[in-house]
Structure 1
Amino acid sequence: MQISTSALYSTAQIRQAERQAIERLGIPGRELMRRAGAALFGHIQQRWPEAGELTVFCGSGNNGGDGYEVARLAIEAGYRVTVFEMADPEQLPADALSAYRDFVQAGGCVSTFEADRSAITGIVVDALFGIGLSRPVAAGYLPAIAAINAAAGPVVAVDVPSGLQADTGCILGAAVAADLTVTFIGPKQGLYTGAAADCRGDVVCADLQIAELLGQMAPAGHLVIGTRLPKRQRKAHKGQFGHVLLIGGNHGYSGAIRLAAEAALRAGAGLVSVATRAAHSALVNIARPELMCRAAEQAGDLEQMLDKADVVVVGPGLGRDAWAQTMFDCAVAASKPCVVDADGLNLLALGNSKRDNWVLTPHPGEAARLLSCDTRQVGADRFAAVTALQQRYGGVALLKGAGTLIGDGLRTYVVAAGNPGMASGGMGDVLAGVIGGLIAQGFPLDQAALVGAQVHAAAADSLAAEYGERGLLAGDLPPRIRELLNR
């Protein structure tokens, strides 16, 4: 299996690299700022070559210095430039103050932003806050952020969109919604998960010619770029690709187990069985006869099916009644590799099980129940949440949502693909089935989770590009997943 990833870094690592550049490599901080400004202006010119007007919002730190630097370059290139200062420039840190004075020497002048009177024209550059923001945006900055977001022109964020926490991807009260983010030194982990999806726009990284310093650090996370499965041998047979048993489909929820089961088939499992309520056992495979469906009303009904299975998927449409508890307990007691989803996770939250050979696939609400907290805490730091899930329950934890996170105890992966069309019933069932199907084929649990999340999201993106996001159904995904896995 080939998995392509890109390294992500924490703000602490970025600061460390910057310090090392100054102290070890002897690169002045002012030179790094010049490089940042040049990279930023270069990307603006590349993306909008016909532009000739710039409005820059400068804050009180080095991010503001980057703003003054790009404003100076724009003046020298003949742009019409307006700069709004949100803090006294004379109180800036030394390097940012130097950038401000160079801007003034180049013929620039600053204006004080007035929410109801200041005109915002051309490309808008957000240089209010950098990676250091750790508390809610102060009230005095809120009108500026609102004005940036209401501007007619495209918005470029300097390093990170102002108001976005660079480590967690959560919004600290309010945030700039950028069309382009030019981030410096290395990609920040918070740009790819949570609320960042609505703020970052396209992301490009300017390493400021000090990339080798980050190369000496273990990344804080890994952004999944793409995956590729190995080609099958011509002599292959179904026994080589595993047997998935899916358990679920309580009264009123037969569709969930049906979606998950077909997804396991489309992911390439050799055999797929379904254990469900007797009332559903003759119905689930009507439109998909390749599924082997059997009634399971009590623990004894599962014994033979569990013996034959290579991997178990428990939870889609399971419910939380006595039957669900019995089915869940049997699945966990079998000690087979397991994918736990939906109500399987809610039942898991009632106990204290921990295993190395399962994949847990909660959405934020289920994660909150598993961690005995609320969804706001999960959303406030998704990286911390997926780490806590893995540490408490073992195995591989997959935290769904915008910027899905996969943690295996050693590394954290981010799948930034996906779109709002996936906000419909059954999407998680399909994901659970795909992961189960990949595990059945012999892929390690972490790789199965990673590839499953990536191809699931990529299939949804492909369909949304073709037909639009609204009306995207979970049942639309399995055929497209098959296509992508075979590329």
Structure 2
Amino acid sequence: MPQSPDNLPLALYSAAQVRELDARLIAAGTSGFELMSRAANTIWRALRRRWPAAGVLTVLAGRGNNAGDGYLVAALALRAGWQVQLLAVGDAMQLQGDAALARDQALTAGVLIQPWSECAELRGVVVDALLGTGLQGAVREPYAQAIRMLNSLGLPVLAVDIPSGLCADTGQALGVAVRAELTVTLIGLKMGLLTGQSADYCGELQFDDLQADYHIVGAQAYTAQRLAQANLPQLPARSRNVHKGQLGHVLVVGGEHGFAGAGLLAAQSALRAGAGLVSLATRSAHLSAAQARLPEVMAVGVASANQLMALGDAASVWVVGPGLGQGAWARSLLSAAAVSGAAQIWDADALNLLAQAVVQLPATVVLTPHPGEAARLLGISSAAVQADRPAAARALAQRFQAVCVLKGAGSLIAAPGGELWLCDRGHPVMAGAGLGDVLAGVIGALLAQGLAALDAAKLAVYLHACAGEQLALQGRGLAASDLCAVIRELLQEQSACLN
């Protein structure tokens, strides 16, 4: 699998898949200790680049292969003239296999191995080599106490492979997890480093494949792919004699009393993302505001399913749900959407009504839930969704046989067949009202211009996140409508209108 320009690979693995990959490399002739030595050298180089003048190192080591990396890093630092202390959590003499060989090499180099205690003094840069990807369940003592102590000190921390206590599959902290400034992950990029709570724990993420044979790595199954420029779908360039009728007609359905802005945002983003025609079916009371703000959008007041069906016959794509509400008006309009043959995006209250079994889902739909909406659709808690976001996204796609975008940090796009894509772009400044409405409109515009549902979702999610990153340079206070012009620019860079 090729790497993207940010030097992170596109393939994402589960912890079990990385262990299998490690086993394949060893079976092919690269010893486990050789891989461990390569890992230590990679970590040591990263550490020196990040903190070249530190000169003082503390290694916190556990009892697995992760610890072996730490012992070898300690030996390298000592040979380079750094002041080094290694604190072992658990009995260092009980290490086995390659980790025991690493311990012995550290002892030969002169590293003083001391047992960790709550009275230990941590100094300089700290290497977290406590727990690896095999952690099952909540972090137990004394590891939990060591992690809490480390987090309280504010020292610079490099995590080996994954911050100790972070789940490699879900990105959730298992009770407590190390907050690293730099994480150097090895051999295969773990899914949990890019979704869930991972952004609060990993710091900067660097990857090294340890010179793994590409043919071996390429043959190993992976669990998901990252979205990046290298694997994004593209809109075709337009012919010079194209007209608006060839570029799709997006109908946005939403805007209950008090929620007029949501439908307007979806319509605006559909327009800016290149749909040939955009209509807005909303409450009649909102028509004046809609026409004043978006004169290019055909705003129509609708009061019933029959009116909406007549209007929707001309549309190729429906975006249903922004500001829709859950009252009688919403239910009536959603019943019309449920029998339409058009491709659709269901968002916000359309999803809440779907969770209540008010209607059946039509055939070609993209679902765009946030974690709360996903929880209602699956009949579980929001906490359960966040505890395993990849599983929740896949479950939604399979249950509803639809492409599903599970929004949030590390947004996930799941297909009914189990395929999964992750977007690790975006910024906390995007935590605000209306950004989901904008995303729904962009997906609608891309569908209208000919992309398949899955491709439209992937491209829209990526552009939306990158636009947020770009606008984040201006600081707090991002308004959802700010995204529309930036998405237009990014779409032109990615899929030029003319060749």
Instruction: Identify the TM-score tier after normalising by the shorter chain.
Output: over 0.9
Matching of residue 60 in structure 1 with residue 63 in structure 2: yes
Matching of residue 50 in structure 1 with residue 53 in structure 2: yes
Contact 1:278 1:296 in 2 (8 A): yes
Q: How does 1:187-206 map to 2 (within 5 A)?
A: 187-206=189-208
SS of alignment partner, residue 156 of structure 1: strand
Matching of residue 267 in structure 1 with residue 273 in structure 2: yes
Match of 1:464 among 447, 459, 472: 472
Q: d(CA) in 2 for partners of 1:285 and 1:139?
A: 63
Deviation at 1:377, TM superposition (A): 1.2
Match of 2:414 among 407, 416, 422: 407
State the match for 1:387 in structure 2. Answer: 394
Q: d(CA) in 2 for partners of 1:290 and 1:110?
A: 71
State the match for 2:113 in structure 1. Answer: 110
Q: d(CA) in 2 for partners of 1:303 and 1:399?
A: 29
Match of 2:263 among 253, 257, 264: 257
Q: Number of matched residues? A: 481
Deviation at 1:38, TM superposition (A): 1.1
1:331-383: CA deviations, max 9, x gaps?
Answer: 12102100000000001112273555110000010000000111111111111
Deviation at 1:482, TM superposition (A): 1.0
Compare 147-156 and 471-480 and name the one that shifted more: 147-156
Q: Give the 3 Å change call, closer, same or farther, for CA 82–229 of structure 1 in structure 2.
A: farther
1:266-288: CA deviations, max 9, x gaps?
Answer: 11111100000111122223122
Gaps of 5+ in 1: none
SS of alignment partner, residue 204 of structure 1: strand
State the match for 2:450 in structure 1. Answer: 442
State the match for 1:328 in structure 2. Answer: 334
- Fraction of identical pairs, as percent: 48
1:101-138: CA deviations, max 9, x gaps?
Answer: 110110111223333x4332222111110000121011
TM-score normalised to structure 1 length = 0.95
SS of alignment partner, residue 83 of structure 1: strand
Deviation at 1:302, TM superposition (A): 1.1
SS of alignment partner, residue 385 of structure 2: helix
Contact 2:339 2:362 in 1 (8 A): no
Q: d(CA) in 1 for partners of 2:386 and 2:169?
A: 12
State the match for 2:144 in structure 1. Answer: 142
State the match for 1:486 in structure 2. Answer: 492
Tell me which amino acid in the other structure corresponds to 1:148.
L
1:195-229: CA deviations, max 9, x gaps?
Answer: 01111122222212224322102321001123454
1:405-427: CA deviations, max 9, x gaps?
Answer: 00113420000111221111111
Q: d(CA) in 2 for partners of 1:207 and 1:103?
A: 24
1:284-314: CA deviations, max 9, x gaps?
Answer: 2312211110011011211232111010000
TM-score normalised to structure 2 length = 0.93
SS of alignment partner, residue 292 of structure 2: coil
SS of alignment partner, residue 194 of structure 1: coil
Q: d(CA) in 2 for partners of 1:55 and 1:78?
A: 14
Gaps of 5+ in 2: 494-499
Matching of residue 225 in structure 1 with residue 233 in structure 2: no
1:33-59: CA deviations, max 9, x gaps?
Answer: 111111111221233333322111101
SS of alignment partner, residue 380 of structure 2: coil
Compare 51-60 and 335-344 and name the one that shifted more: 51-60
Q: d(CA) in 1 for partners of 2:220 and 2:334?
A: 42
Tell me which amino acid in the other structure corresponds to 2:39.
A
Quote the RMSD (CA, aligned, Å). 1.6
Q: How does 1:40-439 map to 2 (within 5 A)?
A: 40-115=43-118, 117-212=119-214, 213-226=216-229, 227=232, 229-351=235-357, 353-410=360-417, 411-439=419-447
Q: d(CA) in 2 for partners of 1:55 and 1:189?
A: 28
State the match for 2:497 in structure 1. Answer: none
